[in-house]
Chain A
């Protein structure tokens, strides 16, 4: 091989590496924190219900059936973007949609839901944020799909888009329903 070509090849290799770097950064979110909890049992929890704080609702009430846990808050702008989709599709997901109100003033959260609509089966409020830490929540919105055995099967950070809904979430829900007894 001609030795004069070597620098050119080296340059091409560096170019390819840089190109891959650019491509990679456009096709994955470098800020996304991969959850170690996928495939693990969801934490047990018991939290006050937003609409009636004297009532508690928790993992025991949800045991035995798959559910979708959606972390939201009235202070979260991205949750506003996600909200219309939940309003449209929330009732026909095939699994109950549980709202997880994260570090929010209950009054603000109730007002937010009455203004924009309440797509949730039930909304639980985690004002201190302790259960959220057990779930590895880093912010809102985040969404967890939990199966009938209480195992976290899927987690999505950032608003669910129609593409994510049809491409990822609905197939996973369908798969859960076929494997359920």
Chain B
């Protein structure tokens, strides 16, 4: 009798609306979560990096970690890029050794470009980052009578983000070599 009364008194419309409303809240909370965090990797790194210039980071050590879970298994060179004023060119040659990478990351952490080294040969990388939105970027080098580089750069559309060159830390003996490769990486604003 009690059970029958309980069933009779249930607001079935509200009960059926619970999973629907919970689902909507679940989707909203999940989509909003990346925007509600104040400590994303980009927001932590951006204030410490110069714009459109590659900077070799110090060896990760306790108390001086730029990011959580950033292992000292590698050395890093990073460039905070902004293409709102014009394209940015990126160049680096990854040595013939495993563990080297060059990645272009958006402020949301997406790798819009990623290249890894191979043991057999050096991996030259040449990129040109252009603004995402359509904009007049000037005439091409050919139109201005300037010969193009021999290697055609890869064109990527991105407004802001971080370029990360990562070299595996193989110990003290290799420290200078790793640093030299990282310092050799370029990230500069350019014009067409």
Whether A associates with B in a native complex is no
Q: Identify the B interface with A (CB < 8 A).
A: none
Q: Identify the A interface with B (CB < 8 A).
A: none
